[in-house]
Amino acid sequence: MRKRAADYGPVSAERRNRKSDSGLSRRGLLRAGAALAGGTAVGAAALGSPAEAKGKVLKAPKLKAGDTVRVVAPAYPGDSRLVRGQEILEGMGLVVEYGEHVYDTAGYLAGTDENRLADLNAAFRDPKVRAIIGARGGYGSQRIVDGLDIAAVRKDPKVFFGFSDLTVIHSRLWRAARLVSFYGPLATWTDTRTGPESVASMKAALMSTDDIVITRDATEPSSAVRIAGSKGSVARGPLVGGNLTMIDMDTDTDSFPKLDGAIFLFEDTGEAPYSYDRMLTHLRRSGALEKIAGVAVGQFTGADVAPGAPTAAQVVTERLKDLGVPVLGGLRIGHGTGQLTVPIGANAVIDVEAGTLTVEAGVR
């Protein structure tokens, strides 16, 4: 039987609060990943999954009391914050269980690539499991995503939930299976960052078929990004994206989400303003942003700037203003306080004048 979070000893506050347990930034981890001991990246060849799906969008059934949620760790290992995450999920009436390797360690990863992938695929293949939530972000999902069992995903669509490093899994699920997934908090829960409003948003997204409406928060640093398009302030399309670093690092791979006609969502943490410039410039040069319908900008956290220097919001505005599409910032989506949940792949509308992002339900 898989152990519950409470069966494991506590992790020190010092370790929990580090930017990363390895001392590297997210970008440093992405660059260093290929050198990590403990296994090589797992490829897609063994599963023969196609690079891109066509046709019908898949949605999982909405969750109900008594459904089983499995916590898996495709990146960093779980820690003592899973106890609170389990309490949150059980408070929704859900049954929580854990992948076999959630607490494994191999350097900064939750065990070997093979074992992390095995846990992820086992969850998608198990008919008892109705939802899968990531234990923690950090780094590691890129190393295993090409081995995702897309046939199992299509056969039995499930809720997949998480954010940050797990962006690459969202993108793969959307591009290869057209499965709508959920960009929201991980199971390593912290009440000071994700309080009651985050819990309510998560529950509504997973257990209701109502539209999701997120209103621009003027206190968010990204709220200064507000651009009316050349053809009006409203844009429509599937909401696609996630963490900007992960999207940028995923270009020219089979999991990069095609953004034509989409509302491109991005957020990031710990990146200086010039990094936003560099990543958006790269995406523009690659052609990825040529046919987007609009842009939804989430939270900028830790975007430190020297006095008098351009802010992240100013840099993002400069990089996007000539695209001619509506751009709405100030959305509490990402690494900041009060994180809200949105479906990735569901149809969405941004209204710059009204300051709203409206997304159709991601479950059926």
Residues annotated as catalytic (active site), given as ranges: 164, 267, 335
Token pair recorded at residue 71? 């916590």
Q: Which helix (H) or strand (E) holds 357?
A: strand 356-359
Cα(297)–Cα(268) distance, integer angstroms: 10
Q: Is the dihedral of CA 324, 263, 316, 219 positive or negative?
A: positive
156 touches 130 (CB < 8 A): no
Cα(297)–Cα(67) distance, integer angstroms: 33
- What are the φ/ψ torsions at residue 224 (nearest 5 degrees)? -70, -15
Token pair recorded at residue 186? 């991980």
11 touches 102 (CB < 8 A): no
210 forms beta bridges with none
Cα(239)–Cα(219) distance, integer angstroms: 23
Can you tell me whether residue 113 is helix, strand or coil? helix
235 touches 293 (CB < 8 A): yes
Please give the DSSP secondary-structure letter assigned to residue 3: P
**Sheet of 294-301, strands arranged across:** 212-215, 356-359, 347-351, 234-243, 263-269, 294-301, 327-328, 226-227
In terms of DSSP bridges, do strands 347-351 and 356-359 run parallel, antiparallel, or are they unpaired?
Answer: antiparallel
Q: Which helix (H) or strand (E) holds 251?
A: none
